[in-house]
Structure 1
Amino acid sequence: MYNKSLEIIGYYEIIEKLADCALTARAKEQIRSLHPFLSESKLRKNMRETTQAREMVELLGLPPLPAMEHIEAFIEKAVIGELLLPEQLEEIGLFLNAVRRLKLYLKKGEEQRIRIAFYNDNLYLPEELKEDIERCIRAGRVDDYASGYLKDIRRQIQRSEEKISEKASRALKAAGACASDSFIVQRNGRLCIPVKKECRTKVAGSVVDKSASGATLFIEPEAVAALREELEVWKIQEDSEERRVLYELLEQIAQNEEALKEDVRVIAVLDFVFAKAKLSLDMDASEPAINLDRYISITGARHPMLERETCVPLDFEAGRGTSGIIITGPNTGGKTVALKTVALVSAMACAGLHVPCTSADVAMNNQILCDIGDGQNIADNLSTFSAHIKNVLDILKRVTKDSLVVMDELGSGTDPAEGMGIAISILEELRRSGALFFVTTHYPEVKEYAGRHPGISNARMEFDKETLKPLYRLTIGESGDSCALYIAKRLGVPDGMLAAAAREAYGPRAEHVIAELKGYEATEPFCKVSAPRLKPVDHIKPAAAQEDSFTRGDSVMVLPDRKIGIVVQTADSRGNVLVQVQKEKLIVNKKRLKLQVPASQLYPEDYDFSIIFDTVEHRKARHQMERKYQGDLEIEVFDE
């Protein structure tokens, strides 16, 4: 049955690794239904078998277990009289041979007085059936030596085939020029000679086939036809004798049905047990002690899904007067991994598996209850905090004195003051339940709560303030800091900001923290950097707002004629504006003008408006006057 808490701690990942160690479908199915035991006797029996299987593997190597993929189905077919093919019988023969090798393997274990080896007594090897299959079936067919009669029949078949080949060769030679090719061909299972169509009457025999063009006929000679009919009779007899042999073997399988099914069952059991031994070896695991005293002690624990080279071993102890552990320390310091490791080791031990520890003594639990991860549920429209509370309520409904509870970031995801209060109230309920519980938190008040109750202990994940690296070591009996201010100092947060943060966080104790922070250097100073500037669009003012401020070059509409013109000269004291409309200059009162497009959007700065407003003659005269004095030239100028 699926268990969400077991999935959270990674138990099902271990189960899949265990299933990969098994060979048979039965064992894999049993493994995938494996959960922590509630029965002490069943747990201790399974743990003994795991330990004994590993002892045998270390002493004798892996057992010669068969996969048995189709054996049960073949046995069922044999019992109801359904004919098995030779290759299927050969598979049963290989199974029986594996049973023989497995019995020899277990016999060696018996000699070493390893108790699991006495499963050998439950394995039965039908020697006669094994020998008969090996004698009668070879290379996926009924062997010549399955019976003397079958051997004689096949000898006759061989002779008949040789005679047919000889007769066909003679007929081809006799056909001479009538043959269209110089070799014998086979058509529809018959030996034929290729004959030219026009020579059909010159060759005795029956036409079996013809070429695509119709120019060649494939004729079976009369002499060959007679021998072929004789060969077919022999082959019918061969088939009948093969079936007789196969049915005799089926009868033997049916007679040994119970023994063979028991062999299948025992091999599946052994496959399950030895899969646990293989996993133990792969993880370099050890047998844990089991207790009902609500006590956990693990040394050198490693989370099995982490790389051994980088995983820092965990030492942990709880129980015997301490029912709760509150773990504090920096983010990414290994608190969550520590929780999962303790819970996973407990689950594996209670499922009869060896655990990746140097040593372990683990309490049996009636259930493992977890709240780890952000828990956000999009489908149910739950926030992180709501999802946490929903999980916590479910845990509090189920928890008993025999439960193990692990919670990560207790009270997080909401207002800090309220979150702290909720965290303490949850801890109080867990303390009253008598369960073993391990939680992580950042709230200083929760650490203080632990100090007020002798049954609850603080613990911290160690952190190197010099290198800003977590050490992933758990120290029980001491509370830890989040180290956020030290990390912030190293990363360059200014001292003023750090001092303000310390005073808000620590109140009267802040000055001590501020003084200690001064002893750490930032990896790089805090410096402001230049930022890009925004470039807003120059907005066009409404025409009504610009009626009194037309500028030279503005495009305007002259009302009521609605003609478009360009301002030549701005308004005078009476409000009259000189406007050029289609090369004609008009004086129009500004009240009759409506701005269309300002000159700033039509022309670049310092644009020479004489190009628009002056005539060609004026521009030439202006050019001459700029070169030298011209007494006879005169230009009318419009003031801007």
Structure 2
Amino acid sequence: MNHTFRILEFNLILEKLMEFAHTEAAKERISQLTPCLKEGEVKKSLRDTTEARTIIDRMGLPPAVSMAGLQEIISTAEQGGCLSAEELERTGGMLTAVKRYKEFLNRCKYLELGLPYYEQDLDPLEGLAREIYESVRNGKVEDSASKYLRNIRQDVARLEEKLRTKAEAILRGNKKYFSDSYVTIRNGRLCLPVKKDYKTWVPGSVIDQSSTGSTLFIEPAAIAELNGELELLRIEEENETRRILYRLTASVEDNLQVLEEDKRLLEKLDFLFAKGSLSASMAGIEPGINTDRIIKIVNGRHPFMAQETVVPLEFELGTEGRGIVITGPNTGGKTVAIKTVGLFALMAQCGLHVPCGKADLCMNSQVLCDIGDGQNITENLSTFSAHITNVMKILHAAGPESLVILDELGSGTDPGEGMGIAIAILEELRNSGCLFLATTHYPEVKTYAKETEGITNARMAFDKETLKPLYRLEIGEAGESCALSIAKRLGMPDSMIRKARRYAYGEEEGLLAEGTDSLKEKTVVKKTGGPVIEKQKKTAGNKNIMEQKFVIGDSVLVYPDEKKGIVCRPVNEKGLLQVQMPDKKIWINQKRVKLLVAAGELYPEDYDFSIIFDTVENRKARHKMEKGYQKDLEIRMD
């Protein structure tokens, strides 16, 4: 399925959806999102997305909730640990956000939707939130957390002021002893910066020294006792602070079940509103879901194409057949069209809206794709080999509930064989009962689709006048590559166009149908200057002894398709001969024909070839003419 996600760019849809989520749990859920196979759950998921989108459109986005580290906080409380002031503050912030979210959903109830009633399951734990707010702020325990803590901190402040006053008095009274005019704290003790030479003049304990050793930081004996009292007060403050943190942690532990339910519900709402935001960003709508194997898309737009410029897709499959073969020029939008259908199918079964005017999409057990150049250098696989490998896996997996999408069917090999392979693949898909879309350039595949029940032709419209694709899918009509039209518009002479048409389709209007003058017409192409090859002078012995002479009745092989035929007119002065193919007569250069069996080995010496090559009408006319002149009687030659 990941291969399909990448080909249809569903992974990019998930990345975009993830941008609208705020919680890690919602993002993780999005990264694991896959098409659901339960019709009821798909429809409910789509309804939730629709309600979220309605709320966003009418009421705006809900308040963002940060739950970073909340799971670790819950785990610490469960295991009997002590939460830090920062962790408690995050918990209180989350509860405040729950309260705002609950109020937002309450305001949305007038919309008469089901989603706002999730607020009934949200509990902001206002008592716990208030207790945390009154006790912890800015990452530390507040003085107001307890009367005892307030008294201790007041005693600490008074003693610190007394210490500083006394130390500064010593500093001012003996300035020559000190390297600086300020007191400092070293290792938690209040010290004076004494010059090394005056160490003995300032009684006290050396707590630290400068990097050069020229200054000693001494705690004067006169304030040592006060420093000791201050240290004891600070120990008491730390003990009281820890007692308060344990008390608050116990309160959190008492409400863990509610906190976990709030967390779970907020993560779910975050996921739902992310889907609603994605829908709003791409102007999506809720598609209908069916199990009748029908796909209908009206004014569909690929999510990653500009809404202002994209040509809307009109698509229908499953009502009159299970397969569509799309033909048309390169860069005409065939691949975008089939990708859009496949992407819509995946999005809908994941509960996501699709960007279109209206859609009715069937449930699929799997979406199977082979799109793009599958060349694999590391495994030494050509484009054709890679395609066939993928297609065989798809044929093996496809069933009545599958959607199969194949691009450039049968490409990458000999045109004749590729056409046969393409038709064989389509026949297998038809027999499997799956829904399928395929693109191709082969005219024989178009004919197969036209004549086969359950398969419909479609084409991408193309403006032959402007040489621009119209990117509009037209179901029911076969397309063409438009290569000849493009070549003509780009300056290729008519004579070359007629020859190209004859060689491509076996049509005669380019030569014989226009009379002998067209046979004498020379192709005139304006050429630019360039290097000139100096040819060796030919002698009489250089004559091409390999040139073949054909007679009526010879069995021949016609290249490049390697189809068998019978010569019905010998080579003319232009080197062309007429060959009877299984379904029509064609004129072809003798160099593209190889003798298989000579006529002398196949037919008696006096065999009447008109039996094979003439119409019944011509044979009757000849028979009458042999008896004498026949007025108004003529023999028509094809």
C-alpha contact (below 8 Å) 2:441/2:481 kept by paired residues: yes
Residue number in structure 2 paired with 1:411: 410
Residue number in structure 2 paired with 1:386: 385
SS at match of 2:191: strand
C-alpha contact (below 8 Å) 2:499/2:510 kept by paired residues: no
Residue number in structure 1 paired with 2:432: 433
Cα separation, partners in 2 of 1:239 and 1:38, compared to 1, 3 Å: same
Residue number in structure 2 paired with 1:268: 267
Residue number in structure 2 paired with 1:396: 395
Structure 1 residue 260: Cα displacement: 0.8
1:327-378 Cα deviation digits (max 9, x unpaired):
1110111111111011111111121110011111111111111111121122
Cα separation, partners in 2 of 1:534 and 1:405, compared to 1, 3 Å: same
C-alpha contact (below 8 Å) 2:375/2:382 kept by paired residues: yes
Residue number in structure 2 paired with 1:3: 2
SS at match of 1:508: coil
C-alpha contact (below 8 Å) 1:326/1:456 kept by paired residues: yes
Paired AA for residue 103 in structure 1: K
Structure 1 residue 174: Cα displacement: 2.9
Structure 1 residue 306: Cα displacement: 1.8
Q: Tell me the distance in 2 between the aligned counterparts of 1:16 and 1:458.
A: 35
Cα separation, partners in 2 of 1:526 and 1:270, compared to 1, 3 Å: farther
- Relative to the length of structure 1, the TM-score reads 0.79
1:592-614 Cα deviation digits (max 9, x unpaired):
xxxxxxxxxxxxxxxxxxxxxxx
Residue number in structure 2 paired with 1:71: 70
Q: Does 1:319 align with 2:309?
A: no
Paired AA for residue 271 in structure 2: F
Structure 1 residue 506: Cα displacement: 1.7
Structure 1 residue 302: Cα displacement: 0.9
What pairs up with 1:110-129 in 2 under 5 angstroms?
A: 110-129=109-128
| Identity over aligned pairs, percent | 52
Cα separation, partners in 2 of 1:323 and 1:255, compared to 1, 3 Å: same
SS at match of 2:469: strand
Q: Tell me the distance in 2 between the aligned counterparts of 1:8 and 1:176.
A: 81
Structure 1 residue 202: Cα displacement: 3.5
Residue number in structure 2 paired with 1:298: 297
Paired AA for residue 186 in structure 1: I
Q: Tell me the distance in 1 between the aligned counterparts of 2:385 and 2:197.
A: 96
Q: Does 1:92 align with 2:91?
A: yes
Q: Tell me the distance in 1 between the aligned counterparts of 2:466 and 2:322.
A: 34
Cα separation, partners in 2 of 1:201 and 1:387, compared to 1, 3 Å: closer
Q: Does 1:29 align with 2:8?
A: no
Residue number in structure 1 paired with 2:446: 447
Q: Tell me the distance in 1 between the aligned counterparts of 2:407 and 2:176.
A: 97
Q: Tell me the distance in 1 between the aligned counterparts of 2:292 and 2:398.
A: 17
Cα separation, partners in 2 of 1:412 and 1:201, compared to 1, 3 Å: closer
Paired AA for residue 489 in structure 1: K
Larger Rg: 1
SS at match of 2:360: strand
Structure 1 residue 211: Cα displacement: 4.5
Q: Tell me the distance in 1 between the aligned counterparts of 2:218 and 2:71.
A: 51
SS at match of 1:331: coil
Residue number in structure 2 paired with 1:488: 487
Structure 1 residue 435: Cα displacement: 1.5
Cα separation, partners in 2 of 1:218 and 1:37, compared to 1, 3 Å: closer
Structure 1 residue 47: Cα displacement: 0.6
Structure 1 residue 310: Cα displacement: 2.8
Residue number in structure 1 paired with 2:57: 58
Cα separation, partners in 2 of 1:215 and 1:473, compared to 1, 3 Å: closer
Structure 1 residue 212: Cα displacement: 5.1
Q: Tell me the distance in 1 between the aligned counterparts of 2:331 and 2:354.
A: 25
Paired AA for residue 64 in structure 1: P
Paired AA for residue 24 in structure 2: A
Structure 1 residue 384: Cα displacement: 1.3
Paired AA for residue 434 in structure 1: G
Paired AA for residue 255 in structure 2: N
Paired AA for residue 343 in structure 2: L
Residue number in structure 2 paired with 1:584: none
Residue number in structure 1 paired with 2:107: 108
C-alpha contact (below 8 Å) 1:65/1:267 kept by paired residues: no
C-alpha contact (below 8 Å) 1:492/1:526 kept by paired residues: no
Cα separation, partners in 2 of 1:218 and 1:432, compared to 1, 3 Å: closer
1:272-330 Cα deviation digits (max 9, x unpaired):
11110000000011111111111111111111122223321111111112211111110
1:369-401 Cα deviation digits (max 9, x unpaired):
111112112222211111111111111111111
Cα separation, partners in 2 of 1:533 and 1:510, compared to 1, 3 Å: closer
Structure 1 residue 529: Cα displacement: 1.4
C-alpha contact (below 8 Å) 2:67/2:94 kept by paired residues: yes
Cα separation, partners in 2 of 1:215 and 1:442, compared to 1, 3 Å: closer
C-alpha contact (below 8 Å) 2:327/2:459 kept by paired residues: yes
What pairs up with 1:462-611 in 2 under 5 angstroms?
A: 462-508=461-507, 511=510, 526-532=525-531
Paired AA for residue 307 in structure 2: R
SS at match of 1:35: coil
Q: Tell me the distance in 1 between the aligned counterparts of 2:214 and 2:392.
A: 91
Structure 1 residue 463: Cα displacement: 0.6
SS at match of 1:320: coil
SS at match of 2:466: coil
Cα separation, partners in 2 of 1:424 and 1:203, compared to 1, 3 Å: closer
Structure 1 residue 97: Cα displacement: 0.8
C-alpha contact (below 8 Å) 1:6/1:368 kept by paired residues: no
Structure 1 residue 505: Cα displacement: 1.3
Paired AA for residue 107 in structure 1: N
Q: Tell me the distance in 1 between the aligned counterparts of 2:211 and 2:274.
A: 63
Q: Tell me the distance in 2 between the aligned counterparts of 1:448 and 1:237.
A: 94
Cα separation, partners in 2 of 1:474 and 1:152, compared to 1, 3 Å: same
Q: Tell me the distance in 2 between the aligned counterparts of 1:158 and 1:19.
A: 51
Structure 2: gaps spanning 5 or more residues: 515-523, 535-638
1:445-502 Cα deviation digits (max 9, x unpaired):
1111122124221111011111111010111111111000111122233333322210
Residue number in structure 2 paired with 1:81: 80
Residue number in structure 1 paired with 2:279: 280
SS at match of 2:339: helix
SS at match of 2:65: coil
Residue number in structure 2 paired with 1:232: 231
C-alpha contact (below 8 Å) 1:175/1:203 kept by paired residues: no
C-alpha contact (below 8 Å) 1:447/1:458 kept by paired residues: yes
C-alpha contact (below 8 Å) 2:501/2:507 kept by paired residues: no
Residue number in structure 2 paired with 1:145: 144
Cα separation, partners in 2 of 1:233 and 1:326, compared to 1, 3 Å: same
Q: Tell me the distance in 2 between the aligned counterparts of 1:31 and 1:530.
A: 62
Structure 1 residue 198: Cα displacement: 4.4
C-alpha contact (below 8 Å) 1:179/1:193 kept by paired residues: yes
Q: Tell me the distance in 2 between the aligned counterparts of 1:397 and 1:89.
A: 57
C-alpha contact (below 8 Å) 2:109/2:117 kept by paired residues: yes
Structure 1 residue 216: Cα displacement: 4.2
Structure 1 residue 213: Cα displacement: 5.3
Paired AA for residue 486 in structure 1: S
Cα separation, partners in 2 of 1:317 and 1:180, compared to 1, 3 Å: closer
Residue number in structure 1 paired with 2:590: none
Q: Tell me the distance in 2 between the aligned counterparts of 1:197 and 1:226.
A: 24
